[in-house]
Each structure stands twice: as structure tokens, then as C-alpha cells.
Structure 1
Amino acid sequence: MHRLFVALRPPAPVRDHLIDVMEGVDGARWQDEDQLHLTLRYIGEVERSLANDLADALQDVAMPPFEVALRGTGVFSRKGRPHTLWAGVEPQLELARLQRKIERRCQLVGIEPEHRKFMPHVTIARLNTASGPVDAFLAEHAATRFSNWQAESFGLFESHLRTGGSLYREVVDYPLFPAKQPVQERASRGPVR
């Protein structure tokens, strides 16, 4: 079984800026540099054959590169308890288009449709009941503008659970370019191993 998701990976300067704000909440489990990403579609656990079908289907996603802008922070809560701190993504038509194209490819290979609304963000910390209050952090970074970046590719990632948090490994990188570019010019893809 492979635990997969599709995401954009911010470049090093953006990741550095995100890491710079990671303080001020006691007991938060801050993400490390290798964990920072913008999820386009969580897949979950799938058999190798379906993982390979998905890897192949994602090759057909074609659109030009576009700019992504991170701004502000927020929190996801469950039953009134915060569990995730995130950096927000400014509304972006191209990002929503890319997410819809990926969703269509997922469904074409037999993956159940995603019923949750797409809420683009970059997770910066996980929280638990022992974590300190987040209000001061959110107020301090409500208007923080993180570095923008040009999204030139997206990736299929595999997640490996471990005690210190998940380890993410990109298994396939998909360059973004206009639909008119022939598919054979894309980087060669290998199966998910």
C-alpha cells in the first residue's frame, strides 16, 4: 500500500520565510522544512497498481506555470479545539484550475471523489490538547505576506508515518506548461515503487 497526495512544494526561500515565523505557541509540533507543501489532493492509501495508474494519468495535466502567494495565518479546529496552524493562500484562479484537473484525473482512475471543499493552505504546525493558546500568534501573523513563488511543477508524494511526524517523498514531478507542448517532451516518469 502507498499513502499518497498531490501537492505543490514551495521553493527554499518561501520555506525559509515560513520557518522564520514558527514560534510563539507552546507545545506546537512545528513542521520541518521537508514537510512544507500545499496539498492539491489527498489520496490516502492505495494499492501499487492504482498508484501507478494515477502517476500515469497525472501526466496529462497541462497548464502554464502561475504565481502562488501566501498571506496570513489561520487555524483548523475540531469541536472548538485548534489542531492545525496554517499559512493562507491568496485566491488564485489558476491554482483552482490545477486542483480541478487533478481531481478529474483521480476520478478517472477510480479514486473516490473528494467531498471536502478545496481550502488551499500550507500547514505549519500540528496542535494537541497540551498546546498553548494560538490567539497571539494568529494576531501577529494575520497580515504576514510570505514570499510569492512561480509554481512550475506539481508532484505526487508518498507519506511515511513516523514518530516525529510524517516523512514525505516526492515520487513523480510533473512540470507545468501549456497544453500545446507535446507529451513526449515531459520528463520521463517511473512507476511508484
Structure 2
Amino acid sequence: MSKHHYFFAVKLPIEVKAFLKEWVEAKKQDFPFAKWVHHEDYHITLAFLGFAAEEMKYEAIQTMPEVLKDEHPFPLTLHQIGIFGPHKKPRIFWAGVEHSNELIHLQKKVYNHLLKVGFELDKKPFRPHITLARKWNSPEEFDQNLLTAIENNLSFTVNEIILYETHLDQTPKYHEFARFLLE
């Protein structure tokens, strides 16, 4: 068993990461969260594996191209910001994307395949998001009125899925372990 966590995710293009980095820098003072995610670590998680047994991880890597063979690149658009956790002291601050049937379909396909491989996955409904920060860090309650649309509805193309490996002692902490292109 590896000491690292693994997860499959949509890789965001450099320009999306740069846009979100600039947005965060401009708005950070309005959102006192304790831990901000490094912009290179921005992604949309499809399935979190946790610690992955080597044989299961390699079976997932070997079989994922067949699972994705009929999947094609598709557009997503940044849309809004939101929170997870208690409304007064949220755990997660995120950027969301407009609803996408293609993204929902892709996530289900990846998720169901990983279940067949033998992974025990989170059963919570899929809520596509890009984590920007964690842990509200203010004596004042979070102001729900700050949750607005992202001004520049930036669109981008999803054209690759990555199996990321987590290195908690590094920044950025997510490293590409395997790449799968949508063609």
C-alpha cells in the first residue's frame, strides 16, 4: 500500500488556473480562510481513491483507456463560487462550473469503472467544483451575500483526465501519476 493518496480528476488548462489565481488574489481579503490551495493544484475531482493498493491502481491505469475510448473533449464554463460545510463557518470554498451533462456522464463512467476494479469510493452525490480554500478562519460568520457568479464566465475544453498522487509535504502537492486523453 502506497503512503500517498490518489484521485482521478479533470485537469484544468493553464489559462483557467491563471484566471482563478488572479481572481483569488483580488478577492482573498474578503474570504479569511486558513488554507488556500496552490493554483497548480486546481482540478475537478471525479473519484477519490485514497490509499490505493498497487495492483488495483495499476489495473485502473491499464483499463481506463478502454473506459474512455468513446469519450470526446467537451466544454465547461466557470460559473460561480460556493461553500461546503456549515453556512456560518464553511469547510470548503470553491469555484463551480455550469451544469454539464458530459461531465456528469464522464464522472459516472470513471466512478463505476473504479467500483468494478474494487475501490471503495465516496457515496456522496457528485458536486463538480474546484477547491480554492479550506477552513473558515474568522470570529465573524461567513457572509452568504459574498457568494456570487464569477464575473468572466471563462469557458475551457476538458480534454484529459489525470490520476493524481498527493504529496502532502510539497507545494504544489498534487503530481500527475497517469494521464488519459479524451479524443
- State the one-letter code of the partner of 1:110: G
The answer to whether the Cα contact below 8 Å between 2:94 and 2:130 also exists between their aligned partners in 1 is: yes
TM-score after normalising by structure 2: 0.85
SS at match of 2:15: helix
SS at match of 1:55: helix
- Matches of 2:167 and 2:140, distance apart in 1: 28
Q: How does 1:57-96 map to 2 (within 5 A)?
A: 57-60=63-66, 61-62=68-69, 63-78=71-86, 81-96=89-104
Find the partner of 1:135 among 136, 143, 153: 143
Displacement after TM superposition at 1:128 (Å): 4.0
Displacement after TM superposition at 1:27 (Å): 4.3
Unaligned runs of 5+ in 1: 178-193
- Matches of 1:54 and 1:38, distance apart in 2: 19
Aligned length: 175
- CA distance change for structure 1 residues 137 and 52 in 2, over 3 Å: closer, same or farther? farther
CA RMSD of aligned residues (A): 2.3
SS at match of 1:82: coil
TM-score after normalising by structure 1: 0.81
- Matches of 1:144 and 1:137, distance apart in 2: 15
Match of 1:48 in 2: 54
Unaligned runs of 5+ in 2: none
- Matches of 1:51 and 1:99, distance apart in 2: 18
Match of 1:160 in 2: 167
Identity of aligned residues (%): 27
- Cα deviation, 1:31-64, whole Å, max 9, x if unaligned, reads 1121100111111111211111111121212211
- CA distance change for structure 1 residues 81 and 134 in 2, over 3 Å: closer, same or farther? closer
- Cα deviation, 1:127-146, whole Å, max 9, x if unaligned, reads 2444765427834x434344
Find the partner of 1:104 among 108, 112, 115: 112
- State the one-letter code of the partner of 2:158: A
- CA distance change for structure 1 residues 131 and 20 in 2, over 3 Å: closer, same or farther? farther
Displacement after TM superposition at 1:165 (Å): 6.7
Match of 1:119 in 2: 127
- Matches of 2:139 and 2:48, distance apart in 1: 26
Match of 1:5 in 2: 7
- Matches of 1:170 and 1:146, distance apart in 2: 27
Find the partner of 2:31 among 12, 22, 25: 25
- Matches of 2:139 and 2:59, distance apart in 1: 41
- Cα deviation, 1:134-172, whole Å, max 9, x if unaligned, reads 427834x4343442111111111111222x777100111
- State the one-letter code of the partner of 1:8: V
Displacement after TM superposition at 1:68 (Å): 1.0
Match of 2:44 in 1: 38
